[in-house]
Structure 1
Amino acid sequence: MAGTRADGRIARGEQTRRLVLGRAMEIASVEGLDALSMGRLASELKLSKSGVFALFGSKEDLQLATIRAAVAVFTEHVVGPARELPAGIGRLRHLCDRWLAYSRERVFPGGCFFSSVSAEYDARAGKVHDALVTARSDWLSYLERTAREARQAGELTADADLPQLVFELAALLEMANAESVLHDDVTAYGKAARGILDRLLRVAVDPSQLSAP
């Protein structure tokens, strides 16, 4: 019986943690990580403030947990679907397409979570800044690794400058998100998609591999 009660408490604690982090991600994507507070989350979710403190301990712990949760959501919506495709230029394009869909569909209400909160912490030191740097570096590294695998598969030209390619692809993605969020206009996603296609065509060994939408 004691084990059953303990398991029940753990399950309820995990459920509450997911509930709090879900709302925290929504708030942070619109208002920033500094807008998070234990009291606000407890009040909005009708939870005890002491219970929320027990789960996270401090505001910084809450912010870090929110970033980790956002990484998991990003991976689910962007990276995971692209992994289902074989290595090659098609996977690289699909990865960009999934990023645009993740922003356009407002998986987070403020658009890309990391674009929203990075400007808030880009000139500040500390654990939150470092966690955001790691998340962005991991994404760009994965994008470059995907491009490298496409070249190894013989689908990108041998002389393609992969760091430059990744920089330009990321710039198009982030510009589409910024324009859409600022102006509430989805046409930026089509412009970015066309720009990404044009850039990939310039380094494709067989451009016909990119003919399908």
Structure 2
Amino acid sequence: MADRRIERGNQTRQLILRRAVDLASVEGLDGLSLGRLAGELELSKSGVFALFGSKEDLQLATIGAATKIFVEHVIEPANAAPPGIDRLWRTCDGWLTYSRDRVFPGGCFFYAASAEFDARSGKVHDALVAARADWSRHLEQTARDAQRAGEVVSGTDIPQLVFELAAFLEMANAESVLHDEFTCYDKAFRAVLNRLRAVATDPAALPA
């Protein structure tokens, strides 16, 4: 019975967090409320409070849940390819697809949440900083692995390359969400490909 209670508690927690990440991507992490989530999901307020305890706990757990979803949609599929320029391309392509397909209704969860908390301090701000730093490090490591594999020109300024690639991705997300249009993703796909072709030892290894 204890195991069943734990399993039910975990299932309820995941249900709450799935709704929380969707809400936060549109309305912000400050828009989250334990009472609101309990009402929308027809759960007892006391049960929801028992799982999270405070709004800050809920916000931190929501960032953690969003990170797992991001990894599943962007990092893991690209990592199925061997280290090289193709994996770097797949990583960028996966990010644009994740944003374009609205895995989160408000576009990229981390872009929206970072804009909300960038000038604040505290645990939520620090968790967002850490999540974005992890993504930047991953993108840079992917680019360096491609260089070590001999598929990115020696001497390429990797930090500069990564900065430019991330800018293309985030610009497409921002423009699409703001204007509710999706042609910006086509522009970003072309921009990323052009930038990668410029540093690839064999541009033909990238999509036409």
Scaled by the length of structure 2, the TM-score of the pair is 0.99
Which structure 2 residues correspond to residues 143-154 of structure 1 after superposition, within 5 A?
Answer: 143-154=139-150
Asked whether 1:207 is paired with 2:199, we answer no
Deviation readout 1:113-157 (Å, 9 max, x if unpaired): 001111110000000000000000000100000000000000001
- The code of the aligned residue for 2:89 comes to R
| Distance in 2 between residues matched to 1:143 and 1:65, nearest whole Å | 24
1:78 counterpart residue number: 74
Q: Of 59, 62, 75, which aligns to 1:63? A: 59
| Residue 13, structure 1, aligned to residue 17, structure 2 | no
Are 1:93 and 2:80 counterparts?
A: no
- In structure 2, the partner of 1:113 is 109
Aligned-partner Cα distance in 2 for 1:207–1:109: 35
Q: Does 1:46 align with 2:42?
A: yes
Q: Does 1:27 pair with 2:23?
A: yes
In the other structure, the counterpart of 2:160 is: 164
Aligned partner letter, 1:46: E
Structure 1 portions without partners, runs of 5+: none
Matches within 5 A, 1:152-191: 152-191=148-187
Q: Percent identity?
A: 67
After TM superposition, the runs of 4+ consecutive aligned structure 1 residues lying more than 3 A away are none
Q: CA separation in 2, counterparts of 1:11 and 1:201?
A: 49
- TM-superposed CA distance for 1:159, in Å, is 1.0
> Corresponding residue for 1:193?
189
1:1-57 residue CA offsets vs partner (Å, 9 max, x unmatched): xxxx10110011001000000000011000000000110000000000010000001
Q: State how many pairs are aligned.
A: 208
Give ranges in structure 2 of 5+ residues lacking alignment: none
Q: 1:169 is aligned with what amino acid?
A: L
Secondary structure at the aligned position of 2:143 is classed as helix
Residue 148 of structure 1: SS of its match in structure 2? helix
Distance 1:207 1:14 in 2: 47
Counterpart amino acid of residue 14 in structure 2: R
RMSD over aligned CA atoms reads: 0.6
- After TM superposition, the score normalised by the length of structure 1 is 0.97
Q: What is the alpha-carbon distance in structure 1 between the residues aligned to residue 80 and residue 203 of structure 2?
A: 22
**Of 113, 136, 160, the match for 1:140:** 136
